[in-house]
Amino acid sequence: MATAISFEHVIKRYHDIYAVNDVSCEIEAGSIVALLGPNGAGKTTAISMMLGLTKPTSGQVRAFGEDPMRRVARRHYGVMLQQVGLPQKVRVGELIDWFRSFYDEPIAKDTLLDMADLRDLARKEAVKLSGGQQRRLQFAMAMAGNPRILFLDEPTTGMDIASRRGFWDYLRNFAKERDRTIILTTHHLDEAETIADRVLVMQKGRVIADGSVDALKRQAGNRYVSFWAGGSVSEDTIAALPNVNEVRWSGRHVRITTDSPDEVLRAVIRADLDVSGFEVSQGQLEDAFVSLTAKDGGEDETITDRRRGR
Amino acid sequence: MKAWLLQCKFEVLRNLRNRRFFFVSILLPVGFYFLYVHLIGKSIVIDGVAWPKYYMVSMATFGVVGTGLNGLSSRVAYERTQGWVKLMQTTPQRASNYITTKIAANLLLNILEVAILFVAGAAFEHVTMSLAAWILVAITTILGGLVFIALGILVGHLAGSDASQIVASILYFLMSITGGLWMPVSTMPPVMRHIANFMPTYHLAHIAWSVMGNKGVSITDVWVLFLYLVVFTGLAVYLANRRSDVRVA
């Protein structure tokens, strides 16, 4: 597999703050990578460097072997940034033509309009579109050059549920059919969970977890045994079971966090407790994300605050 | 090149679709022109130039100043602060296209404005001069607009889009009045004449007034304009580069 993006000991420092602190990684062409992390973790800086908007303080960022600060590297880029105000007094169709003009082999205008479901609105002023429509237009603009790599920064903000689902379906096909790379950041971890085949979690400028969604959940160690407890089962009985890390009661529903669900189950059955409806699960990506990033959450907040104060 | 021309076309269209442009750059100068030519009287002569001729250049310059300042400042500020410039930088187009297409579009609009004022003067107020003088005056006013294009871009880099709109409007009126575009400097108190000497507006219009008064162009006018152009451009380039290394919010 060819490498789409590579980071080699990349450091980005703003005064005394390391926004990105010695990150090395490679992103293979054809993969869908979600970049996650709390605010101020450095993911936006990392994306900025991939896009050629920011120069690393030291180290190297490469896109298809080229420096993204150079224009040639960006010929194969499609980019959707968050919170971009579209220019005033320009029509939808014109914006699409505008972006098509940047590339050697652009996708046909009508195809792009259909892709964004905006064919009937091609003559409307772009800034007068609804939030969701503007996002779809920005997606069409990102697709104008038939990119080999798509960067999506919070792409579904402002979209309703139906558009959102359609958007991800489209992206999945895009990535599968054409062997294209997608790098995305999102706050909707369920979205990352369903689409990404690799997740990079950043915190305080470093990559603290890197792997498939399943691998991350395993790394976070969040595995659950849950069941309904009968009236005779006391809190103490449950807490006394082996390998129990944490117990959460919701009425008579019990959820045990454990490193070893097998041992917990065996103990419950051996003790012949009055329980029913067993469920063993690994939890959501969100749970994994929270426990991976919780370790120094407090300190991270201060970094964020200090940056805002600048 | 095709992309550059297309972008230039959109920049022109965006201005023409803007009601503010229509008001500031066309309606206001043309309206003032007819109003003051008739209020002051056609027989008045200022610095050896008949009033309808003199004021035609004043108002053409006034329009050119307005387009550069009003058209560019808030747009540049908006696009710079709202992520548009950043998005443009992620495309494979040349980074300079963003600003060069805006400058080119503004020069085209300057041509349109000067043409409208000249037609108003020639067709309705019987302004006449030699063909060479018409051409020289037109070219000076159009290209002199570069100073105010640079100032508009500079203001757009100094403030956010609302603030830069206000700053641009204030500069637009102040420079126009103190530069003698509304009322001839020679009719103002001495202190105002002194101030006018520092205004690029005054020196730009003064080139055309001198040509029409058969006085020959003063090299001081050219130097002052050139100096302003260099300073405004230098500051704008400095600010644009200083802020290019910011993170995506």
DSSP assignment letter at A83: S
Cβ A140 vs Cβ A121: under 8 Å:
no
Q: Is B92 on the interface with A (CB under 8 A)?
A: yes
| Rounded percentage of chain B residues whose pLDDT exceeds 90 | 78
What is the pairing mode between strands A149-153 and A77-80? Answer: parallel
Q: Is A123 on the interface with B (CB under 8 A)?
A: no
Q: Which residues of chain A does B91 touch, with a Cβ-Cβ cutoff of 8 Å? A: 74, 77, 79, 99, 102, 145
Tokens of B119: 């037609």
Please check whether residues A151 and A275 belong to one and the same domain.
Answer: no
Please check whether residues A49 and A191 belong to one and the same domain.
Answer: yes
CA gyration radius for chain B? 18
Tell me whether residue A59 is in a domain.
yes
What SS3 class is residue A27? strand
Please check whether residues A56 and A90 belong to one and the same domain.
Answer: yes
Nearest to A90 among B10, B82, B248 (CB): B10
Higher per-residue confidence, A10 vs B247: A10
Q: What is the residue range of A107's domain?
A: 3-217
CATH of the domain at A243: 3.30.70
Q: Where are the domains of chain B?
A: 2-242
Higher per-residue confidence, A246 vs B57: B57
Please check whether residues A191 and A258 belong to one and the same domain.
Answer: no
What SS3 class is residue B159? coil
Please check whether residues A138 and A255 belong to one and the same domain.
Answer: no
The rounded mean pLDDT for chain A is: 86
What is the spatial distance between Cα B140 and Cα B144, in angstroms, rounded to a whole number? 6
pLDDT for position B14:
94
A19 to chain B: closest CA residue: B247
Cβ A60 vs Cβ A51: under 8 Å:
no
B122-137 burial, b if ≥16 CB within 10 A, otherwise e? beebebebeeeebebb
CB contact under 8 A, B92 and A86: no
Tell me whether residue A194 is in a domain.
yes
* CA B197 to each of CA A24, A105, A275, B202, B224: distance values in angstroms, whole numbers, following the listed order: 60, 54, 94, 7, 9
Tell me whether residue A298 is in a domain.
no
pLDDT tens sequence across A49-76: 999 999 999 999 999 999 999 999 999 9
pLDDT for position B243:
57
Residue B131 has pLDDT above 90, yes or no: yes
Q: Is B126 on the interface with A (CB under 8 A)?
A: no
CB contact under 8 A, B79 and A85: yes
CB contact under 8 A, B92 and A102: yes
Residue A193 has pLDDT above 80, yes or no: yes
Instruction: Determine which of A129-143, A189-203, B149-163, B198-212 has the lowest per-residue pLDDT on average.
Output: A189-203
Tell me whether residue A51 is in a domain.
yes
Q: Is the pTM of this model over 0.80?
A: yes
Q: How confident is the model at residue A303 (pLDDT cuts 50, 70, 90)?
A: very low
Neighbouring CB atoms inside 10 A of A59's CB total 16
Residue A299 has pLDDT above 50, yes or no: no
Q: Which of A217, A242, A264 is the last residue of a domain?
A: A217
Tell me whether residue A299 is in a domain.
no
Q: In sequence order, which ranges of chain B are alpha helices (DSSP H)?
A: 2-16, 19-21, 28-40, 51-66, 72-81, 84-89, 97-119, 131-158, 161-178, 190-196, 200-212, 219-242
Higher per-residue confidence, A301 vs A142: A142
Tell me whether residue A235 is in a domain.
yes
Please check whether residues A189 and A250 belong to one and the same domain.
Answer: no
Nearest to A141 by CA among A128, A132, A150: A150
ipTM of this predicted complex? 0.87
